[in-house]
Amino acid sequence: MDMPARSGRLEGQVAIVTGASRGIGLAIARALAAEGADLALMATDAGRLEAALGQMAGLPGRRIAIALDVTDREACRAAVAQVLDRLGRLDALVNNAGIHIARGFLEHEPADFQRLLDVNLFGVIHMTQAVLPTMLEHGYGRIVNLASTAGRWGSRNQSGYNISKHAVLGLTRCVALETAARGVTVNAICPGFVDTDMLDGIKRDYGRMGIDAEAAIGSLLAHRVPLGRALRVDELTGIAVHLASPESSAMTGQALTVDGGMLTA
C-alpha cells in the first residue's frame, strides 16, 4: 500500500477511527496520520489492529490501538477515557465500524435487524455520546459518520442494512443541529460500492440466496455506475480528512455521496 501524501494539516489533533483495522477505516486512519494527527485505532480484533499499526509505520504522529466492540456502551466510554488519558485531547471521531447482511426481507430474522442496528446505528450513538461531552466542553469537534448510498434509497435484499444506514443519516442531521452553535460539526459520507472485504461478503450472501453475485454486481457497476467500477478505499480519504479537519468549520449536518455517479445514473 502506497504512503499517503503529507501536508501536516492535522498536526496537534487527536482522532479516533472505529473499524480501523482494515478497509475504509484503515485507509482513513492512514490519511489522517499522514496529515499529522495522533490516532486511536479501534476495532474488535486486537490482532488485526496490531497488523494495522504495522502498516502505518513511517507515518508521523502517535498511535494507540484499543480493541473495542462498539455495541458495548460502557466499553465505548472507557475507550474514550483511555484516549484522553494517553493522548491528552480529542478533536475528531470517525464512526466507521459497520457490518452488512444481505437477505430477502422475508428471510431476515429479527436477530438480523437487531444486529445491524446494534453495530451500524447504536455503535455510532455510543461513540458519539462518549466523545461529545469533551468536544462541547472545549468548543471544538469533528464527527464523521460512514453511512452509505443504502441510507439514501431502497434496494433489494438488504432492507436491514438500509434501515440502519437511513438511521445514521437521520442521527447525523439531528446531532448536527444540537451541536453546531458550540463548535462541533457532524457530517456523513455515503459511499457506493467500494472494493473491500465487505463487498466480498455481499457476494457470499448473494450466493447463499442463489443469486449469481458476480453477474449481478457486474451488471450494476456497468449500467448504474457511470465510473464503471467499484471505488478504491483511497478515493474516500480526502473527503474524510476534510470533514475531520478545522477547514470544514462551515459544514455540518451534511451527507456527502461518493459513488462513481451512481445516484445520477
Spatial distance between the Cα atoms of 215 and 140, rounded to a whole number of angstroms:
47
CA distances (Å), 85 to each of 29, 47, 57, 125, 180, in order? Answer: 20, 23, 23, 22, 26
Question: What would the grid cell of residue 199 be?
Answer: 463487498
Q: What are phi and psi of 253, to 5 degrees?
A: 75, 15
Span 11-21, pLDDT tens digits: 999 999 999 99
Q: Would you place residue 2 in the very low, low, confident or very high pLDDT band (cuts 50, 70, 90)? A: low
Question: Where exactly are the structural domains of the chain?
Answer: 14-192+232-257, 194-230
pLDDT of 25-62, one tens digit each?
A: 999 999 999 999 999 999 999 999 999 999 999 999 99
Catalytic, out of 122, 161, 193, 206: 161
Query: Of 21, 26, 15, 87, which is closest to residue 50 (Cα–Cα)?
Result: 21
The CATH number assigned to the domain with range 14-192+232-257 reads: 3.40.50.720
pLDDT band at 214 (very low <50, low <70, confident <90, very high): confident
Can 206 be counted among the known catalytic residues? no
What letters, b where the CB count within 10 A reaches 16 and e where it falls short, cover 147-162?
bbbbbbeeeebbbbbb
pTM of the entire predicted model: 0.91
* Averaged pLDDT of the chain: 92
